[in-house]
Each structure stands twice: as C-alpha cells, then as structure tokens.
Amino acid sequence: MNGSEITGFQWGLNLVLASMVLGVALNIHWRDFQAVLKMPRAIIAGLFAQFLALPAITTGLTLILELPAGIELGMILVASCPGGAISNFITQLAKGNTALSIAMTAMASLLAIVMLPANFLFWSQVNPVTASMLNAIEVSASGLIINLIMVLAVPLALGLFIRHQWPAMAVLFHRLLKVTSVFALLMFIIVSVLRHHDAFISQFSLMFGVVLLHNAIALLLGYLAGNSAKLAPRDIKATTIEVGMQNSSLAIAIVFTQFSGEADMALICAFWGTWHIVSGLLIAFVLSRWQSPSQQAAS
C-alpha cells in the first residue's frame, strides 16, 4: 500500500468502528447511566476488574512469559480496552443481569476515552520490552486520545441523542448495525490475518495459547470481582462476561491507525476477536445453568 491507500484504509477502519460503537449506543438509554446509582457496588466491582486489575495483571503476565514485544504490547492494548460490543447479548444468553451488563458497557465506553490511553501508556512503560518498542514507534498520546474521541465519544453521544429523540429509529438502526458489526469484526480479523499471513501461520500455536490464557484470566477476574462484592449470581454472570469480552475491534483499529498495522499486535488482537466470541458462547452455556435459589423456585 502507498501512503494515500494506507490513509484511506485507516479512515475506513475508523468509520467502521465508529458505526459499531454507534450500534451499541443506540441500545443505551440515559437511564442506563442512572442505573449506576442503583447498582453502585456491582458497577464498581466490574469496572475495577476491567480498568485496573486486568491491565495490571496482564502486564505482570508479559513480564513472566517474556514473549515477543509486539505480542506483549498487543496484550496490554487489549487489556486496556472496554468491554466487547456483544457482551450484552452473551449475558442475556447466560441468563445474567442484562441491565447491569448494558450499564457497565455504557460506563466502560465513556471511561475508555480517558482510561484506555492512560492504562496503555502507563503499563506499557512498566515492561522494559514494550516500553522500548513503544518509544521506538513514537506513539502520540494526543493522537491516540483524539482518535478515541472520534470513534468512541462522538458515536456514543450521537447514539444516545438518537435514542432519546427518535426511539423507534434507534431500534431500527440498532438491529441493522448489530448485524453489520459482526461482519465488520470479521473484516478486521480477515484483513489482519491476510496482511500478516506468514506470521499468522508460524506463530499460530503461540498466539492461540496466549489468547486462551489471557482470556481465561479476564473471565476469572470478572467472576472474582462479582463474587468478592457479594453480588447475586445474575450480577456475577454480567461482570464475568463484561470483563472477559474485550473490544478487540477497537484494539485492531488502534493497531492499524497508530502502529501502522504492526504484525504481532494486529494478530494477537485478531485472535482475541475470534476467540472471545467462542469463549463467550461457551461460558454463556455453562453459566445459564447456574441459578440462584429464587430463580430455581421461579422455574
């Protein structure tokens, strides 16, 4: 690709990602933010695991495993992202608290504008290997924040406005974008793999093992956060899934727009994007059979 093609590709990724965030926002109502006041313990537990525990533990994991710099930096980037766009659907399949899941998605999407670059830049400097790579690439913190404002803050605000002003239109657009978002995620993954086909083949086992371990840790953190806060089973299901399903589409877009599509970073994010859907469906199947005494009595 020449310079103009790369720029066009980056803009295309940003537009697709913004449309995905818009699709999520169209399913969020202002009262979902107000739900934080009704479920503060559950929200705080989930967000603590999402934005504080997961990036810190991920960085510790990279120090222990001593992987290639790009893989480690990609892991920290994924860990710094908010919850994935389909976490609400997976929570519903698991018979969890969907309202809590939506409230966490809303808060995480809002906080990510600040917390994502803050976490990523801070924890990347803790690991000497990733710090060296990050300094060599000379990533612009201001550029990263501006990019996040464009692909997170603007579509989130637009979606909330449309949902408030024209709820029927919001429902229609949400259904449409929910389908296109899945295809967009697949496009991100396919582009990442095709651009780095040789690296994908040669490092398949390593990357799959890393993502499997990393995702299991994220799911466990979400469960432990909910359990430690003494939440009800339905709420623990929501925190488990929300923390375990990262917005890998956002991570892939950042890799291509801020890191020129660095191979190892792009592939680790693409693996995450594929695997967390599989693990999400598996965990939903398992958790759907876990019910509180009151739920069992009702059924």
> Average pLDDT, stretch 244-252?
85
| Mean pLDDT value across the chain | 82
Assess contact for 219 and 79: CB atoms under 8 A. no
Assess contact for 217 and 62: CB atoms under 8 A. no
Cα–Cα distances (Å) from 252 to 22, 167, 256, 286, in that order, read 17, 31, 6, 29
Enumerate the domain spans of the chain.
13-290
SS3 261: coil
Report DSSP state, residue 83. B
Assess contact for 55 and 61: CB atoms under 8 A. no
Give the residues across from 177 on adjacent strands.
none
**pTM as predicted:** 0.84
Question: pLDDT digits over 147-184, tens only?
Answer: 788 877 888 888 888 887 888 888 888 777 777 766 76
Long-range CB pairs of 141-144 (<8 Å, 24+ gap) are 141/117, 143/258, 144/117, 144/120, 144/254, 144/258
pLDDT at 69: 93
Which residue shows structure tokens 């913190």? 141
Contacts of 270 (CB under 8 A, 6+ apart): 188, 189, 192, 193, 248, 252
Longest Cα pair distance anywhere in the chain, in angstroms?
A: 64
Give the residues across from 246 on adjacent strands.
83
SS3 299: coil
Contacts of 221 (CB under 8 A, 6+ apart): 49, 53, 54, 57, 243, 244
Total Cβ atoms within 10 A of residue 197: 10
Which residue shows structure tokens 């994007």? 273
Q: Give CA–CA dist 199/125, Å, rounded.
A: 26
Cα–Cα distances (Å) from 185 to 21, 205, 270, in that order, read 12, 22, 9
Report DSSP state, residue 127. S
Confidence of residue 16 (pLDDT cuts 50, 70, 90): confident
pLDDT at 182: 67
Q: Which amino acid is at 243?
A: V
Q: Give CA–CA dist 148/142, Å, rounded.
A: 10
Confidence of residue 299 (pLDDT cuts 50, 70, 90): very low
Report DSSP state, residue 86. T
> Average pLDDT, stretch 130-151?
80
* CATH number for the domain running over 13-290: 1.20.1530.20
For the chain, the C-alpha Rg in angstroms (whole number) is 18
Q: Which amino acid is at 237?
A: K
SS3 199: helix
SS3 85: coil
Question: pLDDT digits over 170-228, tens only?
Answer: 888 877 777 776 676 677 667 767 776 777 787 888 889 999 999 999 999 999 999 99
Confidence of residue 242 (pLDDT cuts 50, 70, 90): very high
